[in-house]
């Protein structure tokens, strides 16, 4: 009898050892909170979902009204907003914009003074030796492809437009190395024509955070922004979004506590 009880007690202990330990009250979230750690990724995802649902409930009229107020505040905050690329004419701006792909404006501005002194017009650039041109723009990155685009663009300008940079979207985008974004930069800043909205990384990021668009492709983002804002504001819209993106609404650590449009931003952390 005693042996049977001992055997039974041993089995009970083995079963108890196999049982999973009881979870602390409150589960993982409670344990994290008690330890003073950040909420779990599930909590953060929920917050993003709530913001997304708020955007979905906003009708077109409400979104446009909010968009116009955002622009009004940003224009007041950055009254001197303009393109950071140094230029004196459409030719110089076009060259600088082509060089700015995958490169900072500061770096481009360091390269262009010598470049424009050596090739002051499209006809001069069209006759450049590829090796010499590549050496002058090497620090901007992807210098071989950029040199090819610059030579193709300048030769096309000389051959088809008598050496003058064309002033229409349809003509600009036929030039080698010139897409819609580059054409928008030149048209808006060199010719004063609002044909579209420049969508760079800053504009795309802010447009998505502010829930002015749900698109990811630049052309689709541009289309949504053009529907929200008056045509006369398209060029300035890109400038103030870029300036705000550089100053506060950064990719990694946005300073929402100092943002003048945080109360209008569904993604605000304030």
Q: Indicate which residues carry an active-site annotation.
A: 181, 200
- Dmax over Cα atoms in the chain, in whole Å? 112
Is residue 191 within 8 Å of residue 171, measured between CB atoms? no
CA–CA gap between residue 83 and residue 104 (Å, rounded): 12
Task: Find out whether 210 and 266 touch, Cβ atoms under 8 Å.
Answer: yes
Phi and psi at residue 94, to the nearest 5°? -65, -45
Q: Between the CA of residue 236 and those of 72, 105, 203, 219, 233, what are the distances in Å?
A: 11, 18, 12, 18, 5
Q: What is the 3-state secondary structure (H, E, C) of 19-86?
A: CCCCCCCCHHHHHHHHCCCCCCHHHHHHHHHHHHHHHHHCCHHHHHHHHHHHHHHHHHHCCCCCCCCC
């Amino acid at each position: 009898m005693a042996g049977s009880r001992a055997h039974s007690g041993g089995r009970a202990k083995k079963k108890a050892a196999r049982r999973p330990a009881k979870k602390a009250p409150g589960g993982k979230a409670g344990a994290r909170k008690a330890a003073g750690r950040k909420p779990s990724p599930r909590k953060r995802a929920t917050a993003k979902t709530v913001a997304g649902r708020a955007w979905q409930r906003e009708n077109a009229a409400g979104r446009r009204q909010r968009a116009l107020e955002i622009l009004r505040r940003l224009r007041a905050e950055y009254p001197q907003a303009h393109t950071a690329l140094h230029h004196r004419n459409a030719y110089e701006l076009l060259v600088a914009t082509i060089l700015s792909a995958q490169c900072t404006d500061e770096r481009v501005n360091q390269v262009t003074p010598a470049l424009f002194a050596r090739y002051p017009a499209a006809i001069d650039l069209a006759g450049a030796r590829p090796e010499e041109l590549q050496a002058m723009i090497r620090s901007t990155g992807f210098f071989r492809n950029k040199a090819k685009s610059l030579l193709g663009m300048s030769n096309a300008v000389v051959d088809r437009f008598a050496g003058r940079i064309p002033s229409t979207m349809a003509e600009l985008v036929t030039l080698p190395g010139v897409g819609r974004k580059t054409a928008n930069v030149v048209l808006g800043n060199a010719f004063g024509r609002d044909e579209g909205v420049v969508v760079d990384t800053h504009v795309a990021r802010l447009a998505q955070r502010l829930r002015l668009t749900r698109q990811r492709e630049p052309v689709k983002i541009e289309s949504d922004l053009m529907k929200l804002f008056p045509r006369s504001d398209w060029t300035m819209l890109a400038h103030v979004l870029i300036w705000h993106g550089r100053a506060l609404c950064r990719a990694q650590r946005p300073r929402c506590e100092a943002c003048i449009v945080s109360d209008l931003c569904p993604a605000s952390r304030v």
